[in-house]
């Protein structure tokens, strides 16, 4: 457990001291680091820790056929451009994303005296009282040598744990006559079992990626989807259009968040998801039950729909050996007879998978020495955005006192995913409006993560003016929604 409370110092004069320590080298930590170094003198001592052996966070362990579901220019660090000439709407693949994030770190390292410690686990990150005043104290140890713990101090520390990403495991099934895998093993398993039917368990982005990858390997292979309640996707074709349509059609993504936020009153999540389905999804006639901010093109939706042999709106509970061969057991009590050697792919979500909730920590410590990017006290459901804005606000002493809300994303997600969508949209939009009011326009324009940048500058400026014109009433609505959600579910949603 990491502790971010203020305590008495255990400082030793021999311990190293840094201007900044950042825990986490994923897109959240890298955005926070990139923003923070803008406020540090050139050559300042900075320490970056990460449990993985390279920068990139989850992109180091993601399945090899994963691609961004958004155009690649808006998945970056700060406003760093990708070092290639690809079409604007190109969806970068896993290794390309990891390479870009690694390059971003190299650029940042030119501005400060950066020390990196990969393969390292932080065991403590807290604000302490020292002879120099309040400081951040961070303890860490090599994963392969946990007895070699070291403690350092810093003027500030940013703990960017992100969204509690955990690698899935193959489903534990009673039958040994089927092949149970996770997406990371898909391509090798398809190659080794060229005729085996594929059963994709999970209707989110991972499931859709897996269907598309299986169809690309063999369009004739039998593929069945077991999708639970099913997931809707934002129509990328319509709302992130290409070519001249960027000038004439679509809608700023910030306007989408405003629409979702204003349609949610804190209790009507069913209505909010139905509103999304009818107005924004790739399948407005479908009856899928959830939306988790995934994007999908109309072409991808058509390929998946035509390529599937069967779809079941149900949940797999087990695969057993029946009289005539393996049988899938569904939660409803229904069964599906399947062939021996069938491939069962666990495509259930990778976020908030832990058996226990992450420890709740404040977004910022009492004296502002420690900032946390944590799903229990989240500034934004996108940890990348939280890293960018949080660090800028921290160093400008604007993180408190502006009305920004923290939301317990993980606890709410576990209780009610659709209420989480409404609440996270309200929080994201409100915090964006408040950031526009608090930060200089030139700084906001350096946020390469902003999906509104897909559209030409005149459309973005018109959207900014509209945002400012309704700011006070929109903020008031979002506050009421978050307060109601907090009371209704007993979760944290409060002013930072």
207, 208, 213, 216 alpha-carbon torsion, rounded to 10°: 140
Q: Which of 27, 53, 44 is nearest to 117 (CA)?
A: 53
Are 24 and 77 contacting, i.e. CB atoms less than 8 angstroms apart? no
Q: Which run of H or E residues covers position 126?
A: strand 120-130
pLDDT at 166 over 90: no
Are 57 and 100 contacting, i.e. CB atoms less than 8 angstroms apart? no
Q: Are both 185 and 309 inside the same structural domain?
A: yes
pLDDT at 276 over 80: yes
> Residues with Cβ < 8 Å from 331, sequence gap 6 or more?
314, 315, 316, 317
Q: Are both 326 and 254 inside the same structural domain?
A: no
Q: Which of 324, 349, 374 is the last residue of a domain?
A: 349
Does a structural domain hold residue 75? yes
pLDDT at 353 over 70: no
Q: Are both 307 and 251 inside the same structural domain?
A: no
Confidence band for 354, pLDDT divided at 50, 70 and 90: low
Q: What's the rounded Cα separation, in Å, for the pair 409 and 431? A: 15
Does a structural domain hold residue 408? no
Are 272 and 261 contacting, i.e. CB atoms less than 8 angstroms apart? no
Q: Are both 184 and 318 inside the same structural domain?
A: yes
Q: Which residues pair with 321 in a beta bridge?
A: 326
pLDDT at 50 over 90: yes
Q: What's the rounded Cα separation, in Å, for the pair 418 and 264? A: 10
Q: Which residues pair with 199 in a beta bridge?
A: 224, 344
Q: Residue 33 sits in a domain of what CATH number?
A: 3.50.50.60
User: What average pLDDT does the segment 195-200 reach?
Assistant: 97
User: What average pLDDT does the segment 335-361 reach?
Assistant: 86
User: What confidence tens digit (pLDDT) does each residue in 464-492 have?
Assistant: 999 999 999 999 999 999 999 999 999 99
Does a structural domain hold residue 407? no
Does a structural domain hold residue 405? no
Q: Supply the pLDDT for residue 8.
A: 38
Strands (DSSP E) contained in 9-58 are 17-23, 45-50
Are 467 and 433 contacting, i.e. CB atoms less than 8 angstroms apart? yes
User: What confidence tens digit (pLDDT) does each residue in 104-124 have?
Assistant: 999 999 999 999 999 999 999
Q: Are both 370 and 261 inside the same structural domain?
A: no
Are 28 and 77 contacting, i.e. CB atoms less than 8 angstroms apart? no
- Per the structure, how many domains does the chain have? 3
Are 210 and 345 contacting, i.e. CB atoms less than 8 angstroms apart? yes
Burial class (CB in 10 A: 0-12, 13-18, 19+), 285: exposed
Q: What's the rounded Cα separation, in Å, for the pair 54 and 362? A: 28
CA terminus-to-terminus distance, the chain: 22
Are 363 and 377 contacting, i.e. CB atoms less than 8 angstroms apart? yes
> Residues with Cβ < 8 Å from 84, sequence gap 6 or more?
none
> Residues with Cβ < 8 Å from 82, sequence gap 6 or more?
72, 73, 76, 92, 100
Q: Are both 26 and 118 inside the same structural domain?
A: yes
Q: Are both 146 and 186 inside the same structural domain?
A: no
- Give DSSP secondary structure letters for 72-103: GGGSSSTTPPPSS---TT---BHHHHHHHHHH
Q: Are both 204 and 108 inside the same structural domain?
A: no
Q: Are both 478 and 426 inside the same structural domain?
A: yes
Q: What's the rounded Cα separation, in Å, for the pair 185 and 210? A: 11
Q: Are both 57 and 144 inside the same structural domain?
A: yes
Q: Supply the pLDDT for residue 285.
A: 94
User: What confidence tens digit (pLDDT) does each residue in 173-184 have?
Assistant: 999 999 999 999
> What percent of the chain shows pLDDT beyond 90?
91
To the question of pTM greater than 0.85 for the whole model, the response is yes
Are 391 and 32 contacting, i.e. CB atoms less than 8 angstroms apart? yes
Owning domain of residue 466: 242-287+416-496
Does a structural domain hold residue 1? no
Does a structural domain hold residue 333? yes
Q: Are both 335 and 209 inside the same structural domain?
A: yes
Confidence band for 11, pLDDT divided at 50, 70 and 90: very low
User: What average pLDDT does the segment 63-78 reach?
Assistant: 96
Positive/negative CA dihedral, 94, 100, 101, 103: positive
Q: Are both 226 and 252 inside the same structural domain?
A: no
Are 167 and 31 contacting, i.e. CB atoms less than 8 angstroms apart? no
Does a structural domain hold residue 260? yes
pLDDT at 402 over 90: yes
Mean pLDDT over each residue of the chain, to the nearest integer: 94
Q: What's the rounded Cα separation, in Å, for the pair 435 and 177? A: 55
């Amino acid at each position: 457990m990491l502790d971010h409370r203020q305590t008495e110092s255990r400082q030793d004069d021999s311990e190293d001291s840094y201007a900044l320590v950042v825990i986490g080298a994923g897109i959240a930590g890298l955005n926070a680091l990139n923003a923070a170094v803008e406020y540090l003198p050139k050559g300042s001592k900075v320490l970056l820790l990460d449990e993985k052996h390279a920068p990139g966070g989850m992109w180091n362990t993601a399945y090899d056929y994963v691609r961004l579901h958004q155009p690649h220019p808006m998945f970056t660090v700060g406003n760093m451009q990708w070092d290639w000439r690809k079409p604007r709407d190109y969806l970068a693949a896993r290794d390309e994303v990891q390479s870009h994030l690694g390059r971003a770190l190299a650029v940042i390292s030119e501005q400060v005296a950066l020390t990196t410690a990969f393969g390292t686990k932080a065991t403590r990150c807290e604000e302490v009282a020292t002879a120099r005043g309040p400081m951040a104290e961070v303890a860490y140890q090599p994963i392969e040598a946990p007895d070699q713990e070291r403690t350092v101090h810093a003027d500030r520390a940013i703990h960017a744990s992100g969204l509690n990403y955990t690698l899935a495991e193959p489903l534990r099934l009673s039958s040994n006559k089927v092949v149970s895998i996770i997406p990371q093993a898909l391509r090798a398993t398809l190659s080794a079992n060229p005729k085996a039917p594929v059963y994709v368990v999970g209707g989110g982005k991972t499931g859709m990626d897996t269907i598309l990858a299986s169809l690309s390997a063999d369009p004739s292979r039998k593929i069945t989807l077991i999708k639970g309640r099913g997931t809707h996707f934002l129509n990328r074709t319509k709302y992130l259009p290409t070519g001249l349509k960027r000038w004439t059609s679509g809608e700023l993504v910030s306007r989408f968040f405003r629409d979702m936020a204003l349609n949610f009153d804190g209790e009507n999540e069913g209505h909010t998801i139905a509103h999304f389905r009818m107005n924004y999804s790739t399948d407005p006639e479908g009856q899928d039950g959830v939306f988790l901010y995934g994007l999908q093109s109309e072409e991808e939706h058509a390929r998946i729909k035509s390529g599937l042999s069967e779809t079941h709106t149900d949940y797999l509970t087990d695969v057993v050996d029946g009289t005539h061969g393996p049988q899938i057991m569904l939660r409803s009590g229904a069964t599906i007879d399947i062939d021996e050697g069938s491939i069962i792919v666990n495509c259930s979500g990778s976020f908030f998978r832990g058996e226990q909730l992450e420890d709740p920590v404040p977004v910022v410590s009492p004296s502002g020495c420690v900032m946390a990017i944590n799903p229990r006290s989240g500034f934004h459901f996108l940890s990348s955005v939280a890293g960018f804005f949080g660090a800028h606000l921290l160093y400008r002493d604007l993180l408190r006192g502006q009305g920004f809300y923290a939301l317990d994303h993980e606890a709410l997600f576990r209780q009610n995913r659709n209420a989480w969508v409404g609440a996270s949209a309200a929080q994201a939009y409100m915090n964006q409006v408040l950031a526009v009011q608090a930060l200089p326009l030139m700084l906001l324009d350096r946020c390469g993560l902003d999906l509104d940048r897909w559209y030409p500058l005149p459309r973005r400026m018109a959207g900014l003016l509209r945002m400012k014109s309704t700011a006070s009433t929109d903020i008031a609505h979002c506050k009421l929604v978050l307060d109601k959600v907090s009371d209704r579910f007993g979760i944290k949603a409060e002013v930072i």
